[in-house]
Amino acid sequence: MINTLRRNIKKQDSVVSQLLYRIVKFAKYGQLPPLTILYKLVYLCYKLMGIAFHRCINLFIYLPMLQSQLTQYAKGLQLENGMPLIAGPVSISIGNNACLNGAMSIHGHPDNEQCQLVIGDDCYIGWQTGITVGTKVIIGNNVMIAGRTMISGHSGHGVSIDERDNPKMADLVIEDNVWLCTNCHIVRPVHIGKGSVIAAGCIVTKDVPENVLFGGNPGKVIRYLNT
């Protein structure tokens, strides 16, 4: 439409048509001169308003909603990017000074009415992480869980038709000071020992000893870490 208008105006031979032609051309192709200092201030104001807005939403909406779903008040709780998805029958306990990304999900398995998720002090859980609770998932203190990590508190479904509707559920434990790197998948209830690091992309199908680097598909001990 703008191109058609520009061509029609250009055909007219008058001062007004030339002025209109320049205005239409600027509307399509034009830019303001490089007012760098001015727009640095504009961008700074834009960022500050965004930070203030999201802080208010967290303070008055997301954090109180999350706290209302916990078994006790979590001191120093922080949220990034909204409110986590909570679905199914699950009781949630979070320790002090934990930080959760809002783009994560917590699911209680519908076959168990007493699912329990316990998250310790000073933990971080990243974006697009999913935690499925079979019976109980216990995450210790100072545990870092990077984005896109999947934690499954049940063994999934069997291959045969008769086993597909009855997943085996058990407790899953992640001890203190564990680091789960990006895109880890814990695909059955396991026990991960203190201080261990699960490498990016690892598929965890068995228990992990303390203070090891664990990686691969399926996961295995790569080396022991200095303590």
For residue 163, give the 3-state DSSP assignment: helix
86: number of Cβ within 10 Å: 16
Measure CA 185 to chain center: 15
Q: Which of 54, 107, 157, 191 is catalytic?
A: 157
Instruction: Answer yes or no: are the C-beta atoms of 131 and 117 closer than 8 Å.
Output: yes
d(CA 145, CA 101) in angstroms, rounded, equals 10
Kindly provide the b/e burial profile for residues 125-143, where b requires at least 16 CB atoms within 10 angstroms of the residue's own CB.
bbeebebbbbbbbbbbbbb
Structural Rg of the chain based on CA atoms: 27
Catalytic (active site) residue 157: yes
**Residue 60: CB partners within 8 Å, gap ≥ 6?**
none
Give me the active site residues, please: 157
